[in-house]
């Protein structure tokens, strides 16, 4: 098998092996380098205009996890996993434009006129709160997925969670109005495998060319 084929089959295996694990070896502390790798992999997700509409709130402290437990309706993966990452979407990601494009212009990778055009486009789109919200949730979700896949590749398991009281979470964790909660992700070492989950067939989920 060529090295290209072996990379391909390993990546596909990680994708199909990822499952939502709900029981973890509790008390495991994730090494700092692993946590950083996870966050870095999440940050490498694509995003509209490269605005990187995510903020990752990393909850490792056991007391903070205990505080989160009732907000997540008692889901045990909150306290048993090594770390919970709250993926937030940035409703004001347009404010990242200068941060993202500035260095590219300074480094000579992007003409200044292109940056001005993009900034005008972005500011136009961000007149509409619905666009800002859609973009925040869409792009932060890509970072979330990337994080879960990276975790699986590194020998960890994850569970994405939408089952929590988002308003209470915002209040208790002092989340600024700029950010919208997208999902929580538990990450840790599996204590028992996930329940098997089926999928609809390709026929059921695909449409050829047009409805
Ligand atoms: C946005 C989102 C929210 C979810 N919320 C929860 C949750 O609150 N609790 C839970 O145990 N699983 C949750 N799940 C996991 C799903 O139940 C799971 O992904 C689905 O059943 C498919 O199983 P699999 O991930 O093991 O393939 C969520 C998944 C997603 C993508």
Rounded Cα–Cα distance for residues 64 and 68 (Å): 6
Q: What is the pLDDT of residues 73-115, one digit of tens each?
A: 999 999 999 999 999 999 999 999 999 999 999 999 999 999 9
Question: Considering only CA atoms, which residue is closest to atom 21 of ligand 1?
Answer: 197
Pocket test for ligand 1, best of 161, 184, 205 (most atoms within 8 A of CB): 161
- Are 91 and 179 in contact by the 8 Å Cβ rule? The answer is yes
Rounded Cα–Cα distance for residues 112 and 180 (Å): 32
Output the pLDDT for position 106.
95
CA-based Rg of the chain, rounded to a whole angstrom? 19
Mean pLDDT of all residues belonging to the chain: 97
Q: What is the pLDDT of residues 161-209, one digit of tens each?
A: 999 999 999 999 999 999 999 999 999 999 999 999 999 999 999 999 9
Cα 13 → chain centroid:
20
Pick the CATH number of 19-92+127-205 from 3.40.109.10, 3.20.20.70, 2.10.50.10, 3.40.50.1820: 3.40.109.10
21 lines ligand 1 (CB under 6 A): no
149 lines ligand 1 (CB under 6 A): no
How many other β-carbons are positioned within 10 Å of the β-carbon of residue 130? 7
Question: Considering only CA atoms, which residue is closest to atom 7 of ligand 1?
Answer: 161
Output the pLDDT for position 119.
96
85 bridge partner residues: 58, 185
Rounded Cα–Cα distance for residues 53 and 38 (Å): 17
183 lines ligand 1 (CB under 6 A): yes
Residue 38 structure tokens: 């996870």
Rounded Cα–Cα distance for residues 118 and 109 (Å): 14
Output the pLDDT for position 35.
98
How many other β-carbons are positioned within 10 Å of the β-carbon of residue 205? 8
């Amino acid at each position: 098998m060529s090295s290209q084929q072996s990379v391909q089959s390993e990546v596909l295996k990680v994708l199909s092996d990822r499952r939502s694990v709900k029981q973890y070896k509790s008390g495991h502390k994730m090494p700092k380098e692993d946590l950083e790798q996870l966050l870095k992999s999440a940050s490498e997700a694509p995003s509209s205009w490269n605005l990187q509409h995510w903020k990752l709130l990393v909850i490792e402290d056991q007391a903070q996890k205990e505080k989160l437990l009732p907000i997540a309706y008692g889901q045990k993966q909150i306290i048993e996993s090594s770390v919970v990452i709250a993926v937030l979407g940035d409703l004001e990601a347009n404010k990242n434009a200068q941060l993202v494009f500035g260095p590219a212009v300074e480094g000579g990778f992007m003409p200044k006129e292109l940056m001005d055009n993009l900034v005008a486009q972005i500011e136009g789109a961000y007149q509409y709160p619905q666009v800002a919200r859609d973009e925040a949730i869409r792009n932060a979700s890509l970072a979330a997925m990337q994080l879960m896949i990276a975790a699986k590749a590194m020998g960890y398991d994850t569970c994405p969670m939408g089952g929590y009281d988002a308003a209470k979470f915002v209040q208790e964790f002092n989340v600024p109005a700029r950010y919208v909660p997208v999902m929580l992700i538990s990450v840790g070492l599996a204590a028992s495998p996930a329940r098997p989950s089926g999928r609809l067939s390709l026929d059921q989920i695909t449409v050829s060319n047009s409805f």
